[in-house]
Amino acid sequence: MPASPTRIVVDRAGLVRAAAQVPSPNCDERPEGTVITLLVVHCISLPPGHFGGPGIVELFTNRLDPAAHPYYPTVAKLKVSAHFLIRRDGALTQFVSCGRRAWHAGTSSWRGRAHCNDFSIGVELEGTDDLPYERAQYAMLARLTRALRHRYPIADAAGHRDIAPGRKTDPGPAFDWPRFRRLTGVEERS
């Protein structure tokens, strides 16, 4: 009989103890009194289209070596992070406490409200806009989303493309929003 998955719980400090903890400096305090109401789904791979390497963690912790790949000089100086990363095999890493503002959205707006970093949680899926995501990623994303909704009044989920149209395209057409909605009950609204 397979072992049951570790329970995903978001504690009062905004940490998920079931996730590997890799602190990122690319965050700050949320504005006083901010309520977390939005989940933003992203995708990333470093180098683009390559999975499993250290590039994402190095980028989010400001340790990406620009000489390690021809693409890296274009992103190595960025100061970005997400709250979570879900690898292709479903492994979960947390970079920023949910109580803090991760720098994942950039210039953004959702339902007439600017500065999405203030009131959202960012989850990166290891992938590309045009390659299907793995079953393990959807399963982990659903478990994480349910835990986040248990702790915070998250009512909406959107892709990076939805909060930064014309600037971002992720998680792309390969992301199965109907599947996500079936697994979580969170609606994608535009």
Residue of 124, 126, 134, 188 with catalytic role: 124
SS3 107: coil
124 annotated active-site: yes
**DSSP letter at 173?**
T
Please answer whether residues 144 and 123 qualify as being in contact, where contact means their C-beta atoms are separated by less than 8 angstroms.
yes
Region of 14 on the Ramachandran plot (φ > 0 left; ψ -120 to 50 alpha; else beta) = left
DSSP H or E segment with residue 145: helix 135-151
Q: How many CB atoms lie within 10 A of CB 177?
A: 16
Distance between CA atoms of residues 21 and 14, nearest Å: 12
Distance between CA atoms of residues 181 and 174, nearest Å: 15
Q: Which positions are annotated as active-site residues?
A: 124
